[in-house]
Homo-oligomer: A and B are copies of this chain.
Amino acid sequence: MTDEVPRILTVQRAAHSLATPAQRGEAEAWADSPVALPFGPFDPGEHRTLELGLHNWVEQQTGLDLGYVEQLYTFGDRHRDPREQAGGPRLVSVGYLALVRQVPLSGAGEAEWHNWYDFFPWEDWREGRPAIVDQAIRPNLQTWIAQIADADERQTYQERLSIAFGTEAAPWDFERVLERYELLYEAGMIGEALRDAQIRAALSGRPVPQTDSETLETAERLGTPMALDNRRVLATALGRIRGKLKYRPVVFDLLAPTFTLLQLQRVVEALGGVRLHKQNFRRLVVSGGLVEPTGQRDSQSRGRPAELFRFRREVLSERPASGVGLPAARIIG
Interface residue ranges, A against B (CB under 8 Å): 42, 44-45, 48-51, 71, 73-74, 76-79, 86-90, 92, 94, 159, 162-163, 167, 169-176, 313, 316-321, 327-328
Contact: B90 with A76, CB < 8 Å? no
Query: Which of B87, B170, B321 touches A45 (beta carbons < 8 Å)?
Result: B87
A44-B89, A87-B45, A89-B44 known; A159 vs B317 contact (CB < 8 Å): yes
Contact: B73 with A318, CB < 8 Å? no
12 contacts between A and B (CB under 8 A): A44-B76, A44-B88, A48-B77, A49-B77, A49-B78, A50-B74, A159-B313, A163-B316, A163-B317, A171-B320, A175-B320, A320-B328
**Shortest CB distance A246–B (Å):** 9
Inter-chain CA distance A201–B112, complex, in Å, is 47
A73-B71, A89-B44 known; A170 vs B319 contact (CB < 8 Å): yes
**Shortest CB distance A315–B (Å):** 9
**Shortest CB distance A187–B (Å):** 18
Contact: B94 with A317, CB < 8 Å? no
Inter-chain CA distance A319–B176, complex, in Å, is 12
Inter-chain CA distance A316–B170, complex, in Å, is 9
Q: Which residues of B contact A316 (CB under 8 A)?
A: 159, 163
